[in-house]
Amino acid sequence: MNMQAPTMEQAQAELQKYYGYPDFREGQKKIVQSLLEGQDTLGIMPTGGGKSICYQVPALLLPGLTLVISPLISLMKDQVDALTTAGISAAFINSTLSGKEVNERIRAARRGELKLLYVAPERLELDWFRQEMAELPISCVAVDEAHCVSQWGHDFRTSYLSVSPFVEGLPQRPILAAFTATATPEVMEDMVRLLRLRQPGVFMTGLGRDNLAMSVLRGENKREFVMDYAASHAHQPGIIYAATRKEVDDLYQRLQAAGVAAGRYHAGMTDQERAANQEGFLYDDIRVMAATNAFGMGIDKSNVRYVIHYNMPKNMEAYVQEAGRAGRDGEPSDCILLFSAQDIMTQKFLIEQNPQDPERKANEYRKMQQMIDYCYTTRCLRSAQLDYFGEEHPDEPCGICSSCTDERELVDMTVDAQKIFSCIHRMRERYGVALVASVLKGSRNQKVVQYGFDQLPTHGMMSNKTEKEISESINVLISEGYLALSEGQYPVVRLQLPAAEVLRGQRQVMQRVARPSRAGSSRERSRSRDISPSAVNETVFEQLRLIRRELAGREHVPSYIIFNDATLREMSVVCPQTEAEMLRVKGLGEVKYRKYGKAFLEFFQNEL
């Protein structure tokens, strides 16, 4: 585009004015700079990393309109509510509007009254809509959740393939910006190719978020854990993800019976029920949402304090997206994954139920195995996630995940590992984990006897352990790279090079044993993390929340749209007495101060 590029100084001024932040985060700064210079841009940032600011601020400075491709109605509404509350002219077009309302919004865009217009990707397939858009001065097209364009992404959506033809069909090609929270190198290549980004600036901001304590707990009584955790965190918003509708319904009923303000969300409910529960959660009337993975992509709620996965998710991309819905405001939050071997069978069933070509199915099984490896790893969980997405990072532990805080004793399991490797070798590396465990236990079940495995020297070599314990050890060895599983519904366990070194006595295998005490569990760590280091006055904080809730009710928007919890917490520490002091609070821009700030300032001037 032939125009003088807006400057970063101008962008920072807009950021302070409308969002109340003095400067961009490091990752945001590079993306904003790239867009202001008119360059196609691919931004990969963690959930809660501030992706929307990266295209909203440039939209204020670029001429004409920024068109935002957004996948969900609820996500559009949330974004537009937040923008209009902050004093930015924005609108959405989706199926909730009448034809008359759609036409009025297009006319408003034509008159130059809008800076951002949100639409679903399916809208780009309509001839009349493309014609209308061709008459608008579109300077930028921002594609949110851009991983949906890739069939190797976890939310493939064919309508995203319409984005590129739409952009190429405009009279003047706008800047194209694509954003997602998670993408493997394979998916990144697809986004660049399928969206036809031209020599894009590619920016990957650290996916590891310091405020999230990641935990994987194996062997827990899941139902008891969830009930206990939700009851002890009843004042905090949380999401509990389960793999099936039946489990969601069961959790919901039990939480309700225990007096927890719970809701539920899955595809078996009516649209009206789902919408009502989602709204209740956004407005804090519902504290805990039990849900399948159908819930969440459109949820911009910033104060979710915990996300519990009742079952292992299907892959790492889905897990990071879902767990990342905790702590979007930067406050300490817990992400807890409750894992059991039954979860593997559930995910296999779901893969087999889903009709897809063999190549895609094989990919699903590969990703599922990588998720299983994550559940068994003894490495730092944040490092394991970053390695999965191919992100370079310092080789140092995060210090707050369940692996880093695991105080169990580290013992030498080299002899057991040698027994396992020897047994797999004698079974010619042709069978799965369960059968290997049966042989080592000394079982004489039909399969063991039929194949003559009861005659092997390794038969019964670990008879002092249960088959479940042996299987657990095998899975740990898989996650640590000593063993590997073939892909597919019936994976075969095979030896890797490090296993040969162990068999030759050239390498030791260490493993943590005995469950940690209850004091070392995630729920105890979470309680200690509830105490903010910034000396937050909780009484004042709760009074500020009441003021916010009253303002939100008047505006008919969720409370966090007014100010997020982090802003209120800073206010409760600073206790501002003047307008200048109020404007120094992060997240409180000039526009929001004029609309809402005085109610809070009066509280501090009159009550404290």
Query: Using CA atoms, how far apart are residues 415 and 421, in angstroms rounded to an integer?
Result: 10
> According to the model, what pLDDT value does residue 299 have?
66
Per-residue pLDDT, averaged over 469-481, amounts to 87
Q: Is the pLDDT of residue 529 over 50?
A: no
395 lies in some domain: no
Let me know: does 590 contact 561? Beta carbons within 8 Å: no
Kindly report the CATH number assigned to the domain that includes residue 589.
Answer: 1.10.150.80
Q: Is the pLDDT of residue 338 over 70?
A: yes
Let me know: does 442 contact 460? Beta carbons within 8 Å: yes
150 lies in some domain: yes
Q: Tell me: do 433 and 558 sit in the same domain.
A: no
150: which residues sit within 8 A by CB, 6+ positions away?
Answer: 156, 186, 187, 190, 191, 194
Look at 345 and 18; give whichever has higher pLDDT. Answer: 18
Kindly report the CATH number assigned to the domain that includes residue 261.
Answer: 3.40.50.300
Q: Tell me: do 508 and 556 sit in the same domain.
A: no
CA-wise closest residue to 66 among 25, 42, 35:
35
Let me know: does 121 contact 162? Beta carbons within 8 Å: yes
332: which residues sit within 8 A by CB, 6+ positions away?
Answer: 211, 213, 529, 530, 532
Q: What is the per-residue pLDDT across 325-336, written as a single tens digit (0 to 9) for each?
A: 898 888 899 999
Q: Tell me: do 125 and 170 sit in the same domain.
A: yes
Per-residue pLDDT, averaged over 532-556, amounts to 78
Three-class SS of 172-230 = CCCEEEEEECCCCHHHHHHHHHHCCCCCCEEEECCCCCCCEEEEEEECCCHHHHHHHHH
Q: What is the per-residue pLDDT across 28-46, written as a single tens digit (0 to 9) for each?
A: 999 999 999 999 999 988 7
64 lies in some domain: yes
Q: Tell me: do 247 and 138 sit in the same domain.
A: no
Q: Tell me: do 290 and 379 sit in the same domain.
A: yes
Q: Tell me: do 139 and 36 sit in the same domain.
A: yes
268 lies in some domain: yes
**Helix or strand or coil: residue 493?**
strand
What is the pTM (predicted TM-score) of this model? 0.71
Least confident of 290-304, 341-355, 494-508, 548-562: 290-304
Instruction: State how many domains the chain has.
Output: 4
272: which residues sit within 8 A by CB, 6+ positions away?
Answer: none
Q: Tell me: do 125 and 238 sit in the same domain.
A: no
Query: Using CA atoms, how far apart are residues 438 and 454, in angstroms rounded to an integer?
Result: 10
Kindly report the CATH number assigned to the domain that includes residue 477.
Answer: 1.10.10.10
CA-to-CA dists, residue 286 to 138, 235, 237, 238, angstroms:
40, 10, 8, 9
CA-wise closest residue to 54 among 173, 178, 153:
178
Q: Tell me: do 198 and 276 sit in the same domain.
A: no
544: which residues sit within 8 A by CB, 6+ positions away?
Answer: 568, 571, 572, 600, 603
Q: Tell me: do 268 and 311 sit in the same domain.
A: yes
Residue 289 φ then ψ, to 5° = -110, 120
CA-wise closest residue to 485 among 370, 363, 351:
370
Q: Tell me: do 591 and 574 sit in the same domain.
A: yes
**DSSP string computed for 257-291:** HTT--EEEE-TTS-HHHHHHHHHHHHTTSS-EEEE
Domain ranges, residue 472:
409-514
Per-residue pLDDT band at 104 (split at 50, 70, 90): very high
Q: What is the per-residue pLDDT across 557-581, written as a single tens digit (0 to 9) for each?
A: 888 888 888 889 889 888 899 998 9
Q: Tell me: do 312 and 338 sit in the same domain.
A: yes
1 lies in some domain: no
Query: Using CA atoms, how far apart are residues 398 and 389, in angstroms rounded to an integer?
Result: 17
Which residues make beta-bridge pairs with 333? 212
Which tokens belong to 424? 């797999």
477 lies in some domain: yes
506 lies in some domain: yes
Q: Tell me: do 187 and 228 sit in the same domain.
A: no
Distance in Å from the first CA to the final CA of the chain: 54
Kindly provide the residue ranges of all beta strands, DSSP E only, lying in 70-155, ordered along the sequence. 90-93, 116-119, 138-143
